[in-house]
Amino acid sequence: MQRSVQLIRGIDNQVVEAVLLTLAQNHINDFENLWKEQLRLYGQEDKYWDWLFKKRISISRDNYESYAIEYQRKTQGLLWIETQQHRSQVEVGHRLVYIEALASAPWNRRGIQRPPELKGVGTLLLNFARFRSLDLGYEGRVALHALPGAERFYDSRNMMNFGADSDKEDLIYFEYGRLRR
């Protein structure tokens, strides 16, 4: 899978063309070699995520998918979703796309760099999960458990906040219900 997407360059607010594609080894290498030390240095909660493991799960199980955003041959964002086992809390029993992990490159995070190199990476990945939900017939339903440092991001994207989930180390559960047209 490969599709052209648009992001905003932080320094001049110009729209740039990037690519959303299936996670590949070069994206994992970028995480390990370009992201990880910066994530550790800035105390980011996703610094220990293992994208190689996530990719292996995506290859071995048909209910997991992994994606990356590339701009100028550099990985800008990563997404890992589960597509068959999770159900909505808004519309009980209805399937949804569950975001297992969503990450923007350190240089695209306002908490690390101002202005970020690229704006909109996280939002684009979140919206892609909604489109994937539509593709699967789940009517745009998406959910996730947010790391504490990302809660404001999901609140600002108007996801419904269901509060702390004791089954998930008290992470806050967020959900988008059905897209209404």
Could you read off the pLDDT of 15-69 as tens digits, one per residue? 999 999 999 999 999 999 999 999 999 999 999 999 999 999 999 999 999 999 9
Name, in order, each residue with C-beta under 8 angstroms of 85's C-beta and a sequence gap of 6 or more: 63, 98
Which pLDDT value is given to residue 95?
97
User: What angle is formed at CA 165 by the lines to CA 161 and CA 57, rounded to 5 degrees?
Assistant: 100
Percent of the chain with pLDDT over 90: 95
pTM of the model: 0.96
Torsion angle (degrees, nearest 10) of CA 22, 79, 89, 152:
-150
Report the length, in residues, of the chain.
181
What confidence tens digit (pLDDT) does each residue in 128-146 have?
Answer: 999 999 999 999 999 999 9
Q: Which of 72, 67, 81 is nearest to 7 (CA)?
A: 72
Which pLDDT value is given to residue 173?
97
Which pLDDT value is given to residue 108?
98
Which pLDDT value is given to residue 48?
94
Name, in order, each residue with C-beta under 8 angstroms of 172's C-beta and a sequence gap of 6 or more: 145, 146, 148, 151, 154, 161, 162, 163, 164, 165
Task: List the end-to-end C-alpha distance of the chain, in Å, as a whole number.
Answer: 26
| pLDDT reading at 71 higher than 80 | yes
User: Which tokens go with 90?
Assistant: 């808004």
User: What angle is formed at CA 77 by the lines to CA 72 and CA 81, rounded to 5 degrees?
Assistant: 140
Which pLDDT value is given to residue 6?
97
Confidence band, pLDDT 50/70/90 cuts, at residue 180: confident
Q: Which amino acid is at 131?
A: F
Which pLDDT value is given to residue 58?
96
| DSSP-assigned letter for residue 48 | T
Which pLDDT value is given to residue 151?
96
Mean of pLDDT values over 76-93: 95
Which pLDDT value is given to residue 85?
96
Separation CA 70–CA 57 (nearest Å): 21
Q: Which of 137, 67, 62, 126 is nearest to 98 (CA)?
A: 126
| pLDDT reading at 75 higher than 90 | yes
| pLDDT reading at 181 higher than 80 | no
Mean of pLDDT values over 122-132: 97
